């Protein structure tokens, strides 16, 4: 799969309209994609095992999207083969009063994956330059007035780049996924939530309200992605109208990223190696 064509250009303006939401690469059938997905899931599990044993690097996967784009499903499917002990998932909701009493990265820092782990953010600090911008929630953040300048979003873009670079330089590799669905597909999925009694619970009037701001979100997403896609923390724009393709693409990116990180099983010292025979003998001689 040509992953590069789905990676957002580094620090270059672009329009989301140039990224098809219904692209399925060279795949024509769901069956073929699902076969490859299960292969990727197995490979991810092997690499995760080595990442855990190595205990040096951490991988942070960030998922951002409009409602009903399939974040939850993608996380569930892609992570299905991983060892839960080596995985940490956090969902970022509206900040609590305690969280608003701190800088916006406070809750993010507390949720970072430990070394050897894969961390998954369902939404993230990116909400700080998306929903906060669309709805102008800055006031609630209690920043000192002289610090809220007109170019606050530019400042935040820089802070995001710096932060993710800092993480990279300390062993945390960040990869960001924007699940890109069309407005039509979102409508279909909302209607399904209304029609299917097992999905009624998922329907939320808040989601409908956010849909009303579709164009604003497309604009802020495009700018945020363009400003923060770096080689330390790339953004992938995942065509998400076909869930099976989105899941395949995401799993492929994760496998490639883990392979590039080259997690290694710790080397056993000569002394310990020498002793292994002794331990074996001890166990075999047990009566
Ligand atoms: P699902 O609906 O599938 O459970 P979700 O991620 O949409 O998943 P919700 O509880 O519906 O979860 O929504 C969380 C809301 O919190 C979103 O509308 C999001 O924009 C908002 N949110 C997250 N972070 C912030 C933030 N820093 N400031 C303001 N709002 C935020
Ligand atoms: Mg929601």
pLDDT at 1: 87
Interval 30-36 mean pLDDT: 95
CA 44 to ligand 2 center in whole angstroms: 28
CA 202 to ligand 2 center in whole angstroms: 8
- pLDDT digits 0-9 by tens, 174-231: 999 999 999 999 999 999 999 999 999 999 999 999 999 999 999 999 999 999 999 9
CA 37 to ligand 2 center in whole angstroms: 26
CB contact set of 51 (below 8 Å; sequence gap of 6+):
57, 59, 86, 116, 117, 118, 258, 261, 263
Q: Residue 250 — pLDDT band, cuts 50, 70, 90?
A: very high
pLDDT at 279: 93
- Give the distance, in angstroms, between the CA of residue 153 and the centroid of all CA atoms in the same chain: 21
Cβ(72) – ligand 1 distance below 6 Å: yes
- Total length of the chain: 287
pLDDT at 264: 95
Give CA–CA dist 208/220, Å, rounded. 18
CB contact set of 114 (below 8 Å; sequence gap of 6+):
58, 88
pLDDT at 48: 97
pLDDT at 173: 98
Cβ(95) – ligand 1 distance below 6 Å: yes
Cβ(263) – ligand 1 distance below 6 Å: no
Cβ(94) – ligand 1 distance below 6 Å: yes
pLDDT at 55: 97
Cβ(93) – ligand 1 distance below 6 Å: yes
Cβ(234) – ligand 1 distance below 6 Å: no
Cβ(136) – ligand 1 distance below 6 Å: no
CA 95 to ligand 2 center in whole angstroms: 14
pLDDT at 14: 87
pLDDT at 71: 97
pLDDT at 212: 98
On average, the pLDDT of the chain sits at 96
How would you classify the pairing of strands 87-91 and 235-239? unpaired
Interval 136-148 mean pLDDT: 94
- Could you state, in order of their start, the residue ranges of all structural domains in the chain? 3-284
Choose which residue among 127, 160, 210 to substitute to test ligand 1 binding: the one with the highest number of ligand atoms within 8 A of its C-beta. 127
- pLDDT digits 0-9 by tens, 150-169: 899 999 999 999 999 999 99
Q: Residue 130 — pLDDT band, cuts 50, 70, 90?
A: very high
pLDDT at 138: 94
CA 166 to ligand 2 center in whole angstroms: 30
- pLDDT digits 0-9 by tens, 49-104: 999 999 999 999 999 999 999 999 999 988 898 999 999 999 999 999 999 999 99
- Residue 36: pLDDT above 90? yes
Cβ(132) – ligand 1 distance below 6 Å: yes
- Does domain 3-284 fall under CATH 3.40.50.300? My reply is yes
What's the pTM value of the predicted model, to 2 decimals?
A: 0.96
Ligand 1, atom nearest to 124 Cα? 24
């Amino acid at each position: 799969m040509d992953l590069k064509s789905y990676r957002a250009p580094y620090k270059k303006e672009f329009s989301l309209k140039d990224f098809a939401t219904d692209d399925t690469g060279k795949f024509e059938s769901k069956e073929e994609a699902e076969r490859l997905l299960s292969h990727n899931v197995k490979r991810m599990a092997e690499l995760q095992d080595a990442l855990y044993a190595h205990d040096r690097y951490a991988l942070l996967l960030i998922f951002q999207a409009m409602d009903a784009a399939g974040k939850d499903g993608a996380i569930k499917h892609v992570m299905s083969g991983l060892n839960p002990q080596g995985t940490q998932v956090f969902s970022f909701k509206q900040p609590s009063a305690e969280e608003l009493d701190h800088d916006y990265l406070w809750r993010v820092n507390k949720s970072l994956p430990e070394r050897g782990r894969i961390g998954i953010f369902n939404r993230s600090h990116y909400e700080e330059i998306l929903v906060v911008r669309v709805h102008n929630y800055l006031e609630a953040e209690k920043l000192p007035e002289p610090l809220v300048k007109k170019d606050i979003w530019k400042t935040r873009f820089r802070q995001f780049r710096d932060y993710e670079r800092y993480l990279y330089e300390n062993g945390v590799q960040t990869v960001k996924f924007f699940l890109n669905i069309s407005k039509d597909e979102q409508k279909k999925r909302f209607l399904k939530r209304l029609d299917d009694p097992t999905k009624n619970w998922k329907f939320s009037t808040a989601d409908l309200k956010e849909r009303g701001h579709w164009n604003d979100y497309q604009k802020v997403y495009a700018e945020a992605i363009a400003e923060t896609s770096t080689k330390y923390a790339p953004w992938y724009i995942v065509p998400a109208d076909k869930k099976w393709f989105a899941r395949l693409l995401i799993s492929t990116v994760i496998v490639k990223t883990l392979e590039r990180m080259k997690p290694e099983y710790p080397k056993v010292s000569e002394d310990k190696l020498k002793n292994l025979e002794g331990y074996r003998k001890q166990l075999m001689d047990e009566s």
